[in-house]
Amino acid sequence: MRAFEEACLEGVSTKEIHGELHTAIGQEAIAVALSETLRDDDALVSTHRNHLHALAKRVPLRPLMAEIFEKDSGLCGGFGGHMHIFSPEQRFSTTGIVGASLPVALGHAYAARLQGRDSVAVAVIGDGAVNTGGFAETMNMAGVLRLGLVVLIENNEWAISVPFSASSATPTLAERAAASSAPGVRVDGLDVDAVRGALQDALDHARAGQGPAVVEAMCYRFRGHYEGDLDLYRSAAEKADRVENRDPLTIAAAALRDSGILSAQETDEIRRAATVEIADVLSKVRADRQPDPASARAHVFGSGLEPDPSPREESLA
């Protein structure tokens, strides 16, 4: 996951990627826990900060990276870009509208109910999104109908430049679940085991028809809100401290080493192998084409519904 996002950063500096790129470097432990607990038939609906969730849901690497790099081999033919990742086979989608992953996941959960499936829908949201009306509406409907919905809040302490402490009336976000008679827990989002345990409990609860559950995972984004963000609202000392002392990759490597599962040398080797694998994907993606400009209006209207050319286009003609 780290190697994948570092490869994406290359595309920003080379201007292969346009627009805002949001990475989740520093938040990997949460996505790892998702990858270990979600079933293939569960739905995952993510946000503008979505790459790691796509990887957790096993969206294939190459078309995922190709979409981010705006290539015609991408999941959406390069039309969507990094904020619009759709992979119906993996039941994975994203939205750049803050809070909008909630009602979409609710729809997945309702569909599962209507179809008699026990699959669960997970909506990932940031701490800022909890303050949208969609959170209360979604949680209430899921609570009333006891739908299989899990809301996973990645609380990275900031919504762009607004600190969590200045935007939440409650000390935690997990406690807001109680308003929908749902369980809510806050966990250390840098600890894979802690997130995995909390997520598994939430998924079991939702899958058993007991209604929605909320998991609030505390974390910190290492980079600015988007690439290009001057990030002056956080002190250099705060950032340096988190990167130095609270990196989930370092924490996981230490835990594996202390429990005798992997030596430091073995974790280094895994990281090196991941970097090589991702570099190979990136070089293949770079060789792919961008969408043909003549296709700019493709997929905008349904087949047979092409409107007449606008007066402006006629006058241009």
> Which parts of this chain interact with ligand TPP (CB under 6 A)?
48-49, 96-98, 126-129, 154, 156, 158-160, 225
- With respect to ligand TPP, which residue has the nearer C-beta, 163 or 309? 163
**Residue 288 CB, nearest distance to ligand TPP (Å)?**
28
Residue nearest to ligand TPP (CB): 126
**Residue 307 CB, nearest distance to ligand TPP (Å)?**
28
What does the alpha-carbon distance between residue 22 and residue 51 come to, in Å, rounded to a whole number?
A: 9
> Which sign, positive or negative, has the C-alpha torsion 195, 201, 202, 207?
positive
Q: How far is CA 141 from the centre of its chain?
A: 23
Q: CB count, 10 Å around CB of 176?
A: 22
Q: CB count, 10 Å around CB of 45?
A: 25
263: left (phi over 0), alpha (psi -120 to 50) or beta: beta
- With respect to ligand TPP, which residue has the nearer C-beta, 34 or 159? 159
**Residue 94 CB, nearest distance to ligand TPP (Å)?**
12
**Residue 301 CB, nearest distance to ligand TPP (Å)?**
25
- With respect to ligand TPP, which residue has the nearer C-beta, 27 or 180? 27
**Residue 128 CB, nearest distance to ligand TPP (Å)?**
3
- With respect to ligand TPP, which residue has the nearer C-beta, 104 or 112? 104
- With respect to ligand TPP, which residue has the nearer C-beta, 152 or 203? 152
Short-list 161, 162, 196, 254, CA closest to 30: 196
**Residue 83 CB, nearest distance to ligand TPP (Å)?**
9
**Residue 202 CB, nearest distance to ligand TPP (Å)?**
19
Short-list 71, 86, 122, 94, CA closest to 24: 94
Short-list 124, 26, 25, 5, CA closest to 69: 5
- With respect to ligand TPP, which residue has the nearer C-beta, 153 or 185? 153
- With respect to ligand TPP, which residue has the nearer C-beta, 234 or 284? 234
